[in-house]
Amino acid sequence: MSGNSKHRKYKNPFLNWIEFRLPIISYLEREYGEYPMPKNCNYFWSFGALATITLVVMILSGIFLAMNYTPHTDMAFDSVERIMRDVNFGWLLRYIHSNGAAFFFIIVYIHILRGMYYGSYKYPRELNWILGVFIYLLMMASAFMGYVLPWGQMSYWGATVITNLFSAIPVIGEGLKIWLLGDYTVGNATLNRFFALHYVLPFVILGVVGLHVAAVHVHGSNNPAGIDIKSKNDTVRFFPYMIMKDALATCVFGVLISAVIFFGPNLMAEVDNYIPADPLVTPAHIVPNWYLAPFYAILRAIPDKLGGVVLMFGSIVILFVLPWLDRSNVRSCNFRPIYKWFVMLFFVNFFILGYVGMLPAEGLYLLIARIGLVYYFGFFLIITPFIHLVETPKSLPMGISDVYLGAGEKKPILTSQKEII
Amino acid sequence: MRFCIIILIFLFSTNISAAESNSGPMPRHEWSFNGITGTFDKAALQRGFKVYQEVCAGCHSMKLLYYRDLLDIGFSKAEVKVIASEYTVLDGPNDEGEMYERDARPADRFVSPYLNDNEARLSNNGAYPPDLSVITKARKYGEDYIYNLLLGYEEPPEGMEVGDGMYYNKWVGGNQISMPEPIYDESVDYDDGTDNSAKQITKDVVTFLKWAAEPELEVRKNLGIKVILFFLVLGTVIYLAKNRLWREID
């Protein structure tokens, strides 16, 4: 009887009982046990796992913080300080959460740049890339609203500046802003809704992360060579081989984030946010969190408010269409001698944009921001779509196994153009 | 090429920002709480609290602290009770519906010198003396800045007009501050015979303010060493296991 054999798939009768009714055991086995990973994947491929772990840590620490937080303009600042002083290990929860947010962005930035350098967004993983950009957008929204909750000076003025952007939209702008704030200015209504949204958005992120992971598992992970898996010999099982590398990466990450949480918990915080919000006193420089600073630099680089807003949102929206902007058939920049340097320059440029985004927008900083802005869009609209016309990719290796054994370079094959399509 | 130019501009710009500060770089100081194993000196904290009481508390509140918090810096329960009882708080309403004054208890927050912000402004020439609960976290360079500021009163340089009711200070933004010079040599008498030079008094009160802002500092650093050791040991084991595992792969 076929049903009977299904019944006895596992030694443990309880697992069989579950599996027969909901085949989740075999799903986990398939997706997290046998799942084939290209064996040449380097540690950049551990950042997806790190991001997932960080998301879970953020959600857990956030839930416990929410139990002790009061979303009211008169009490928010004091309730956060009460968490730091009177809640058992409240300081640990809060420092994990605030620094975790910064590290979450570091991880996700490396994860995104990994995807850009090795061409992970290309066929057949375009949807995966799009889901990833959605996650990034949701993260930015969550981080922004989370930053408002402690109700310090930077919370208040950051919220004021960012929500003011919406008023730049013609016709509906002013109404939209009031609708978002729930008031004419940032106030208690705003704080309340930001808290509600900050609580719920991470669960939306968790859902999209589920889709993101499910989508990558359909065609398998990309790899540093950017070529397809051809045989079983090209891969290793996810468990235990990849899990072990991810676990090692997690430990290294644990050391780094602990060093900050325990020995420099306010290194990445703005000092002004330890001053309670005061609508009557504007801080000398209103700065966003560093992880949003590149976009803030783009916003301020344009003298026209609407233009700045359009370019700022455009700089994120353009990420969605990257898979179609890149016309080259070669995925990995390891085999793209010219584009490789433009991609690296893009990383540096993004970093510099972030740096000037934290400084006053005047003089030289403004000039740098404008050069950075031009390169940001030039990279996506000119370099990426047309570079393949002048670039001759290096010949791709025969297979992943050869790359892994270090023989890939010596066996040039013709496949460069036909490979992917 | 463009890369080089941007890097050049980048280096150049850091020079510019360094030149912007007109008082030179912020001097850093040795603190007992610095470093991985830093701790607070309880005697200094108690002296610092005395300085706060006698010098700062006339204008500056510390609303986030409770008198019971003083147990952490080595005061006994009886001492804390006595310290608290020197202050009066408005409580009520009582059974007759009236507000009444009573002595503060260890469970009360530090009593503020002014009833509200407006009274504070009125009494201080329009300037608001900031709450000191988290002041070392709320200023760039934290404890070093506060220390330098408290000792940074000087004669204004020639040609500089200091505003009415303002004082020249080397470290405050704009070099003008509403707070008169608070600390002088021997302006606070120490019970334990410690030298009460202005520097020592300042050092003690800043140590106290640092503790007030980060009372968890010692526990935090202690736990941090253990957590990092945990990740290091676990990471080493995992590294060895991973190498053993991947040796089979070819």
- The interface residues of chain B toward chain A in range 122-181, judged by CB-CB distance below 8 A, are 130-131, 133-134, 137-140, 142, 173
In a domain? residue B67? no
In the predicted model, is pLDDT for residue A409 greater than 80? no
Disruptive mutation site among A153, A258, A366, A370 for chain B (greatest number of B CBs within 10 Å): A258
pLDDT at A307: 94
Contact between residue B102 and residue B63 where contact means Cβ atoms under 8 Å apart: no
Q: What gap in Å lies between CA A181 and CA A163, rounded to an integer? A: 8
> Is A364–B13 a contact, with Cβ atoms under 8 angstroms apart?
yes
In the predicted model, is pLDDT for residue A328 greater than 70? yes
* Nearest Cα residue to B63 out of B129, B119, B127, B133: B133
Tokens found for residue B127: 């300037």
In the predicted model, is pLDDT for residue A245 greater than 70? yes
pLDDT at A5: 54
pLDDT at A284: 86
Looking at per-residue confidence, does A413 or B221 come out higher?
A: B221
Q: What gap in Å lies between CA A336 and CA A226, rounded to an integer? A: 11
Q: What gap in Å lies between CA B171 and CA B147, rounded to an integer? A: 10
pLDDT at B248: 85
Instruction: List pLDDT tens digits, range A333-371.
Output: 999 999 999 999 999 999 999 999 999 988 999 999 999
Give the number of domains in chain B. 1
pLDDT at A9: 81
CATH of the domain at B51: 1.10.760.10
ipTM of the complex, rounded to two decimals: 0.91
In a domain? residue B70? no
In a domain? residue B154? yes
In the predicted model, is pLDDT for residue A413 greater than 60? no
Tokens 């801080």 correspond to A283
pLDDT at B22: 54
In the predicted model, is pLDDT for residue A92 greater than 80? yes
Average pLDDT taken over every residue of chain A: 92
Q: How confident is the model at residue B250 (pLDDT cuts 50, 70, 90)?
A: confident
In a domain? residue B48? yes
Domains delineated in chain A: 1-34 (no CATH), 35-410 (1.20.810.10)
Q: Give residue A312's Cα distance to chain centre.
A: 17
pLDDT at A403: 86
Closest partner residue to A262 (CB to CB) among B69, B133, B227 is B227
Residues on chain B touching A247 (C-beta within 8 angstroms): 238, 242
Tokens found for residue A14: 């309880």
Closest partner residue to B64 (CB to CB) among A81, A245, A261 is A81
**Percent of chain A beyond pLDDT 90?**
87
In the predicted model, is pLDDT for residue B237 greater than 80? yes
Contact between residue A365 and residue B13 where contact means Cβ atoms under 8 Å apart: yes
A220 SS3 class:
coil
Cβ of residue B216 closer than 8 Å to a chain A Cβ: yes
Mean pLDDT of A221-247: 94
Which residue in chain A has the smallest CA separation from B68?
A: A86
Q: How confident is the model at residue A4 (pLDDT cuts 50, 70, 90)?
A: low
> Is B227–A265 a contact, with Cβ atoms under 8 angstroms apart?
no
Q: How confident is the model at residue A19 (pLDDT cuts 50, 70, 90)?
A: very high
Closest partner residue to A244 (CB to CB) among B3, B228, B245 is B245
In a domain? residue B15? no
Cβ of residue A244 closer than 8 Å to a chain B Cβ: yes
Q: How confident is the model at residue A408 (pLDDT cuts 50, 70, 90)?
A: very low
Q: How confident is the model at residue B242 (pLDDT cuts 50, 70, 90)?
A: very high
Residues on chain B touching A403 (C-beta within 8 angstroms): none
Mean pLDDT of A172-198: 96
Residue B122: burial class (beta carbons within 10 Å; 0-12, 13-18, 19+): exposed
Contact between residue A166 and residue A106 where contact means Cβ atoms under 8 Å apart: no
Of the given ranges (A144-148, A186-190, A300-304, B76-80), which has the lowest mean pLDDT? A300-304
Cβ of residue A355 closer than 8 Å to a chain B Cβ: yes
Residue A162: burial class (beta carbons within 10 Å; 0-12, 13-18, 19+): buried
Closest partner residue to A255 (CB to CB) among B216, B228, B241 is B228
Tell me the Cα Rg of chain A: 24
Q: What domain range includes position B200?
A: 40-62+131-237
Q: What is the pTM of this model?
A: 0.91
pLDDT at A7: 60
> Is A348–B2 a contact, with Cβ atoms under 8 angstroms apart?
no
Residues on chain A touching B16 (C-beta within 8 angstroms): 364
Residues on chain B touching A241 (C-beta within 8 angstroms): 245-246, 249
In the predicted model, is pLDDT for residue A407 greater than 80? no
> Is A259–B13 a contact, with Cβ atoms under 8 angstroms apart?
no
pLDDT at A173: 93
Mean pLDDT of B180-196: 93
Instruction: List pLDDT tens digits, range A143-170.
Output: 999 999 999 999 999 999 999 999 999 9
Cβ of residue B184 closer than 8 Å to a chain A Cβ: no
pLDDT at B11: 43
| Angstroms from A248 CA to nearest CA on chain B | 6
DSSP secondary structure of A199-216 = HHHHHHHHHHHHHHHHHH
> Is A364–B17 a contact, with Cβ atoms under 8 angstroms apart?
no
In a domain? residue B195? yes
In a domain? residue B22? no
Q: How confident is the model at residue B12 (pLDDT cuts 50, 70, 90)?
A: very low
> Is A348–B6 a contact, with Cβ atoms under 8 angstroms apart?
yes
Q: Give residue A380's Cα distance to chain centre.
A: 19
In a domain? residue B162? yes
